[in-house]
Structure 1
Amino acid sequence: MWVDPFPDFNPVKPLFICILANTETAKIPNISAAGKSPELTDYTPAADAELVETGNAISLKEPAMCPSGAPTPAILTRAAVLLTGIPCIYVDAGLNVKPKVPFVDLNGSPGGDIRTGKAVVDAAGIYESARMFGKSIGKLSDCVIIGESVPGGTTTALGVMRALGYDGRVSSSFPDNPVGIKDAVVNEGMNNAGISFGSLENDPMRAVQCLGDPMMPAAAGLVDGLGVKTVLAGGTQMVSVLSIIKALGLKRDVSIATTRYVADDPTANFREMTDKLGFRAYAADPGFGTSRVKGLKMYEKGDVKEGVGAGGAMFAAAMMGISQKEFREKVEEVYESTFLNKNA
C-alpha cells in the first residue's frame, strides 16, 4: 500500500479545501524555498491555487518551482484532483496576491514577520470567520481534506509550537533544512513578544497572534465548524494546527496526512509530535524514485517534500482506489503539460 496506514474509511462526498496565506517571514533570506526568490513567495499561494484548478499558474509568468528547479507540489494535488474528481474550495486567510480563480475570503490580513512578535492581526476574527464558513458547508461533505499554501509556514509553525510548550521540529522545502535560521527567527520573535517556551499553552490564539500565520486560525476554525471527519493535509505546518486544536480543547474527528518525505525527515519529528498530540497520522509515498521526470526525482533527495495539501490529496486518491503507479503517471502528465508546454 502506498499510504501507511491505509485509510479504513471510504467517504461518499469528499471535499478538498486549500487555505492560502502569506507571511512576511517567508521573505527572510534562505528561510523558504516555496518560490524562486523570497519576493516571489507573495505569488506562490495564488499560483498554487490556479495551477490546481486550471493547470496553469496564471499569476506567474512561468510555473511555480523551487530555486533548485523542483516543481511545486501543486502538481501532485492537481493530479489527485483529476483522478478522483474531488471538488476544491480555495480559502483566502490573508493574501498579498489574490488568485485568479474563485475563492472564499475570510477577510484576514497577510501575516507579519514573526521576528517582531506581531505576526497575525485578529487571529480570533479569522478563526470565527472560518468556523462560520465550516458550519455552513459541513453538510456538503462526509470527509473534508484541508490543505495549505503558506510560504515560510514551517517557521511560523515552529514558533507556535514552542509558545504552546512543544519541542516540535519542523521540516523544510529545502533539502538542507535551515534549522539555525529558523531557531534564531523564532527566538527573536519570542523575545520581542515577551513570551517563553510554553508560556502560552493556555492561550493558543495569542501564540498565533505573536508567532503564527493566518492559515493556522483558519484551519482550526474550519475544523471547529465543519463537524465532520476532517483530514489535515500537510506536514509539520499542520502539526502546529493540531497543537492549536488540542490547546483549544476541541473534540473533533481529525487526523493528518502527509508525504513520506516529511514523515521520514530526520530533521523533523512529525511522527513523534502526532503521537504526543494524540492524532492519527498517515504518510503517502508517490514513488518518485522510479519517475522519468528529473524534477520529481528531486523530491526523493529532500526538495519540496510537501505543500498544497499534497499528502492529503494522495491519501484521498488511495482511499478512492487509485494505485501509486496511476498517481505517479498522472503527476508526470500534469508536470509535462504544465512545465514543458509552458516553456516550449
Structure 2
Amino acid sequence: MVNINKKLIGVYHLEIINDFLNSINGLTPYFSLVAAYTATVQIPGVSGAGITSELRELTATADVEILALGKAVCLQEGVPSNPSGAPGPSIITHAAFKLIPEMTYLPIDVGLKIMPAVKSIVKLEGASQAKAVSSGQALENEAQAQKLFYSGWKLGVKLGSECANSGHYLIIAETIPGGTTTALGLLLALGINAEELVSSSMPGNAHHLKLEAVKQGFQALGKEKGAFAKTPLAGVAALGDTMQPAVAGMAMGASIHCPVMLGGGTQMAAVVALAAALVKNGEVDRTRIKPENIALVTTRWVSEDATADLSGLGAAIETKFGPFPVCYMSANLDFSQSKYPGMRQYELGFVKEGVGAGAAALAAMLTKNLDPDEFLPYIERSYEQLCL
C-alpha cells in the first residue's frame, strides 16, 4: 500500500489508480445502494452490524432510509450501531450526500427482509432473503443466482449508459450485514485461499466462527473448497448471498459505458472474484466488458486491518483466475481526533465499512477538494443529526 495523496491510499494495482482517477475527474457521482438480508448475520459472533438480533434484521432497511429520507424511519436509535456504541457507516455516506447534493441516489432491493419506507426502490428479478451460509443452500438454486446476475447486468448497462450521457460515474455500494462471512463462503467456493483474509465489523475478527460456518455449508453439500471454481454462480447459490451476483452483473454491465466504483471492502473483493471467475470460465466475454473501468474503494480501516488482507485477496484472485485489472484504493479517513467517543471507536477496529462509506467519502473529498481532516467535521455533523 502507498499514500497517493492525503485523500486516499493505493492498495492493489497501483499502476492504474491514477488512470481511474483521471477518468472520473470532473464527473458527478451517481450512487446506487444494493440492499439485502442474509440469515448468516444471525450466526452468533460473526457480525457486529446491529446491537441485537432483531436490530440486525433492520440494519440494511435503515441504511436505505437514511440516504433517501435523512433518517431511519424504522429505527428509534437513528442509525444502526455496533454493540460497542460506534455508529454505523451510514453517517459517512450521509455526510457525502450533504456535501454533494447533486449526487443521484438509487436504492436497489435484492432481498431485504423488511421493506424501507422509500417509494423509489428498484427490486431486481431474483431478489429474496438468503439463508445462512452454513446451510449450503444460501439461495434457492443456481437459476436464482443467474437471474440476479443478468438483471444486475441489464440495470448496469442502463445506468452506465445514462451516466456516460450525463457526466456521471457510477458508485455501486452494498448493505448486507453478515456479508463478510458470505464473502468468505464464495471465495472458498471458488478455490481462493481466503482463510483469515476477510475483514470484520469487530476488532478481533471472528475468523474461526466464519470459517466454521462455511465449513458447515460445505459439509451440508458434501463438497470441498474450490468445488465451484468452474461454476461460480452455483457457488453463490450454495455459499454466498444475493448481493454478490447482482453487483457483479451491474459493475460489468456499467463498465462498458462509464467508470464504476465498487463501494466496499473484502465483500466487494468477493464480487471481483466472481466477475473474474465468470470471465475465466467463458460465461462473460472479456471483450464485452472493461474491468479497467472498475475500482474497488473502501476505507483505511479495511485496507489497514491487521486481521485481514485486502491486497492479498486481490493477488489471490488473480493467481486463481488470471489478470483482471481492477484497482483497489481506500479513503484515508481518521476519526482519532473526533470529539465523539462513538466515532473514535472506528480507530479501535469497530465498524470499518458499509453503505459505500469509503467510496462516498472519496467522492466527496475529490469533488470538494477536501483532505480527510477537513471532511471530518461534516461527518460529525451527520452523526449529530442522525444520532444525537
Same fold (TM over 0.5): yes
- Cα offset, 1:55, TM superposition: 2.2
Alignment correspondent of 2:111:
94
The answer as to 2:286 corresponding to 1:265 is no
Pair 1:105-2:123 in alignment: yes
Paired residue secondary structure (2:307): coil
Residues 48-87 of structure 1: pairs in structure 2 closer than 5 A: 48-63=63-78, 64-85=80-101, 86-87=103-104
Q: Which amino acid aligns with 2:297?
A: A
CA distance in 1, matches of 2:26, 2:50: 34
Structure 2 CA distance, aligned partners of 1:247 and 1:318? 33
The question of 1:289 aligning with 2:329 is answered no
Query: Partner letter of residue 208 of structure 1?
Result: V
- Contact 2:204 2:307 survives alignment (8 Å): no
Aligned to 2:150: 128
The yes-or-no answer on 1:167 pairing with 2:202 is no
1:264-319 superposed Cα distances (whole Å, 9 cap, x missing partner): 11211101112443421111122211111111110000000100100111121222
Matched, 1:308 2:338: no
Structure 1 stretches lacking a partner, 5+ long? none
Compare 45-54 and 179-188 and name the one that shifted more.
Answer: 45-54
**Structure 2: stretches of 5+ with no match in the other structure:** 1-5, 11-17, 280-285, 319-323
What is residue 17 of structure 1 aligned with on the other side? 32
2:134 to 115, 122, 136: 115
Bigger mean CA offset, 322-331 vs 163-172: 322-331
Task: Tell me how far apart the structure 1 counterparts of residues 242 and 76 of structure 2 sit (CA, whole Å).
Answer: 26
Separation in 1 of the partners of 2:235 and 2:306? 26
The CA RMSD measured in Å over matched residues stands at 1.4
Task: Give the drift of 1:194.
Answer: 2.6
Comparing 238-247 with 135-144, which one deviates more in the overlay?
Answer: 135-144
- Secondary structure in 2 aligned to 1:33? coil
How far off its partner does 1:146 sit? 0.8
1:197 aligns with 225
For 1:11 and 1:220, the matched residues in 2 are separated by 26
For 1:130, give the aligned amino acid: G
Aligned-residue offset at 1:54: 2.2
Deviation at 1:11, TM superposition (A): 4.5
Question: SS of the residue aligned with 1:182?
Answer: helix
Correspondent of 1:220 among 232, 244, 248: 248
Percent of aligned positions with the same letter in both sequences? 36
1:91 CA displacement: 0.5
Q: TM-score, normalised by structure 2?
A: 0.85
Could you tell me how far 1:39 is from its partner in structure 2?
2.6
Which is worse superposed, 155-164 or 280-289?
280-289
CA distance in 1, matches of 2:384, 2:192: 41
* Count of paired positions: 340
In 1, Cα distance between equivalents of 2:378 and 2:366: 16
TM-score by length of 1: 0.95
Q: Is 1:183 paired with 2:183? A: no
What is the match of residue 2 of structure 1?
7
| Deviation (angstroms), 1:191 | 1.4
Give the deviation of 1:41 after TM superposition.
1.4
**Does residue 1:318 correspond to 2:365, yes or no?**
yes
What do the CA deviations read for 1:87-112 (whole angstroms, capped 9, x no partner)? 11111011111111221111411100
Matched residue SS, 1:196: coil
Find the residue that maps to 1:221 and give its secondary structure: helix
Contact 1:18 1:308 in 2 (8 A): yes
Maintained 8 Å contact 1:47/1:58: yes
